[in-house]
Structure 1
Amino acid sequence: MINKVVFPLVMALALFNQGCNSTTTLTTPSNPAKMGELIIAEPLPVNYKSEIAIARLSEVLTRVQISEEQRAQLFYDRGVLFDSVGLRSLARLDFSRALQLKPNLVDAYNFLGIHYTQMQEFSQAYEQFDSALELAPLHEYAYLNRGIALYYGARPELAVQDFEAFHHQQLDDPYRILWLYLTEHEVDAKQAIHQLNKRIKNVDDRTWAKQVIKMYIGELSQQEFINSLTYGVETNKQLTDRLCEAYFYLGKYNQILGDELAAANFFKLSLSTNVYEFVEHRYAKLELDLMSSTKALSTVP
């Protein structure tokens, strides 16, 4: 998981109180994972704190006299909350409102770009990320998200450039390594796996996601990887977060191997966790949409 945004609610709640007072190079596993052997977690419920925060922000926006800049920030904050509980259309509406009031709100552009990517409206996504980077050239997550948009928009050479910029900010981050690998694979599969074998050396052995890379380079089979998913996990939340990531990358792994059915099942399992904020959850749905579109086109006479 690559976390992207932390949103301030202190001002909003203070105002509320004030208002009330006023080609594959991967190793094919000999025993692919069977669905009956998979680990399933209880899907995450909607956080009641998020629901309460949305209600309070809504009251601030309708009942309290605030400046346009404050209103823009509150629209953005509520948009982030809507996004975190899967209410993407409402989130987009709030991000757009925030930008109408405050056109230099960088993170709102970043979020809108993510949403346009999920909707396969890639040209608009590029525009949003370009706007974010024009305002904040060092905004590393805009590079990540623009790289993802370029990857899904079938422009892998450009995507590699963004993922390299993102990767160089933290060379030991396994998620940055994985996204760079997935994109490089579209350009040169043999060179991509070579680079992956080199970059894994930068990742601490105590980092769980290193197991994903080990599977990709053939040091672990799918079943061995799945058997390791509960190591160090103490709560259902931790398990759900991990499974959201693991099943997405299993989906990409099987996709590269050419097993589209297994890939689709793993993407569905990632979605079933309801971890809406994770990059992996966001793009598991897009993967399924793209697979459905490809299948539909292949049946056209």
Structure 2
Amino acid sequence: MSKLKRLFATLAIGASLVGCQATNETEVADHPVVNVPFAGPLQHDFRKELEIARISQALNNVDITTEQRAGLHHKRGALYDSVGLSTLARLDFNYALRLKPDFAEVYNFTGIYHTLSMQYDQAYESFDAVIELLPDHQYAYLNRGIALYYGSRPDLAEHDLKKFLAADTSDSYRAVWVYLATRKVDAERAYNELKQHASELDKTRWSYQLVQYFLGEMTERDLLLNVQKDLSSHREYLERLCEAYFYLAKDAVADNKPLKAEDYFNLAMATNVYEFVEYKYARLELRLLYSDDQTPDKIQ
């Protein structure tokens, strides 16, 4: 616990120094994040590294079938993705598709990477392929919905994300993504629908507090304090931090507070929870935050 406290203090001091560089006008409207919980980044799982080595060795076997080889490239690509080695992951996914052009799970991954590269048309095609091959693939609707959201097609994003929510109406994360997409179409309707969805959500899960935050039933401070409650592992703590930072950043963007949003997106990425959509899209959000064609107040 003493290490966490030292990290907490260091972060607060560093953020305060950044704040000194801002103009007085900016400090009133927007300010960097201070006094937030923080922990060291998630460490690589050595078992994943051993599995990558084992698969690499298996790929050297000339006797395996084409389908087996495609499966190994998919599996190794997913492992590379889970440890943040995105370039190697993409190479493996591309190899897998050359060997097995109807590999639905791989299209799901390539669609995410196209979204992260802002190649939205290619992303839509990838997710369309997943849904054509596996119509009941829930996460293809989530990922296509997110691609449509970032591709400035919020009405279509809302449709896909509501389909994803319908598959599990107790999941708060699904409700939050519907809210984010709907907010770009009609903010008042987004709030009212989130309030309606809340009645069906599992209130025993930590994620429900994200819904409470967006409904104005919980403060930013309380959300961050509650991240540390009833934890089962250090990994769970980092996962919660990644999620909380990302959604707080999204709210800061909606409030036209780019400095605060930038800090929270960076904090989400500092957790190194590579598999989470919140980690992946924090990087894209940072690209969009000050891009020429998208000002901070337009990113919601």
Q: The TM-score by the shorter chain falls in which range? A: 0.7 to 0.9
Equivalent in the alignment of 1:44: 42
The aligned residue for residue 155 of structure 1 is: 153
Give, in whole Å, the separation in 2 of the partners of 1:129 and 1:218: 34
- Unpaired stretches in structure 2, ≥5 consecutive residues: 1-29
1:279 is the counterpart of 2:280: no
Instruction: Kindly provide the CA deviation profile for residues 95-133 of structure 1, in whole angstroms up to 9, marking residues without a partner as x.
Output: 111111111110000000000100111111111111111
CA drift of 1:293 comes to: 1.3
1:101 aligns with 2:114: no
Cα offset, 1:281, TM superposition: 0.4
Contact 1:247 1:266 in 2 (8 A): yes
Could you say which residue in structure 1 is the equivalent of 2:124? 126
Structure 1's unaligned 5+ residue stretches are: 1-31
In structure 2, the partner of 1:165 is: 163
1:14 equivalent in structure 2: none
CA contact (8 A) 2:33 2:264 kept: no
Where does residue 246 of structure 1 map in the other structure?
Answer: 244
Residue 37 of structure 1 aligns to a residue whose secondary structure is coil
Contact 1:33-1:223 within 8 A present in 2 as well: no
* Total equivalences in the alignment: 267
| Aligned residue type for 2:82 | S
Q: Deviations over 1:219-263 (max 9, x none)?
A: 111111111110111422111111011100111111112211111
- Following superposition, the deviation at residue 296 of structure 1 comes to 8.7
Residue number in structure 2 paired with 1:185: 183
Distance in structure 2 (CA, Å) of the matches to 1:179 and 1:157: 13
Matches within 5 A, 1:57-68: 57-68=55-66
Distance 1:210 1:296 in 2: 31
Deviations 1:180-202 (A, max 9, x none): 00000000001100111111111
How far is 1:42 from its partner? Answer: 1.2
Deviations 1:109-168 (A, max 9, x none): 000000010011111111111111111111111010000000000000111110011110
- The answer to whether the 8 A contact 2:212-2:218 is kept is yes
Give the counterpart of 1:196 among 194, 197, 201.
194
* CA–CA distance in structure 2, aligned partners of residues 98 and 295 of structure 1: 35
Given that 1:42 and 1:236 are in contact with CA atoms closer than 8 Å, whether structure 2 keeps it comes out as no
Equivalent residues of 2:32, 2:259 under 8 A apart: no
Q: Counterpart of 1:116 in structure 2: which amino acid?
A: H
Say whether 1:227 aligns with 2:225: yes
Q: Alpha-carbon deviations, 1:39-77, whole Å to 9, x = none?
A: 001101111111111111111101352000000000000
Amino acid at match of 1:93: L
Give the drift of 1:35.
Answer: 3.5
Could you say which residue in structure 2 is the equivalent of 1:18? none
Give the letter aligned to residue 220 of structure 1: M
* Partner secondary structure for residue 63 of structure 1: coil
Alignment check: 8 A CA contact 1:264 1:288 kept: yes
For the residues of structure 1 that align with 2:31 and 2:211, how far apart are their CA atoms?
A: 17
Q: Secondary structure at the match of 2:176?
A: helix
Structure 2 length normalisation: TM-score? Answer: 0.86
Task: State the SS of the aligned residue for 1:220.
Answer: coil
Give the Å deviation of 1:34.
7.5
Q: Which amino acid aligns with 2:65?
A: S
Picking from 215, 218, 223, the partner of 2:216 is 218
TM-score normalised to structure 1 length: 0.85
What SS is found at the alignment partner of 1:172? coil
1:187–1:103 CA distance, 2 compared to 1 (3 A): same
Larger RCO, structure (CA 8 Å, separation 6 or more): 1
Letter in 2 for 1:205: K
Aligned equivalents of 2:159 and 2:263: distance in 1? 31
Taking only the aligned residue pairs, the percentage that are identical comes to 43
Residues 15-26 of structure 1 mapped to structure 2, 5 A cutoff: none
User: Contact 2:31/2:259 (CA < 8 Å) preserved in 1?
Assistant: no
The answer (yes or no) to whether the contact 1:72–1:98 under 8 Å persists in 2 is yes
SS in 1 for 2:60: helix
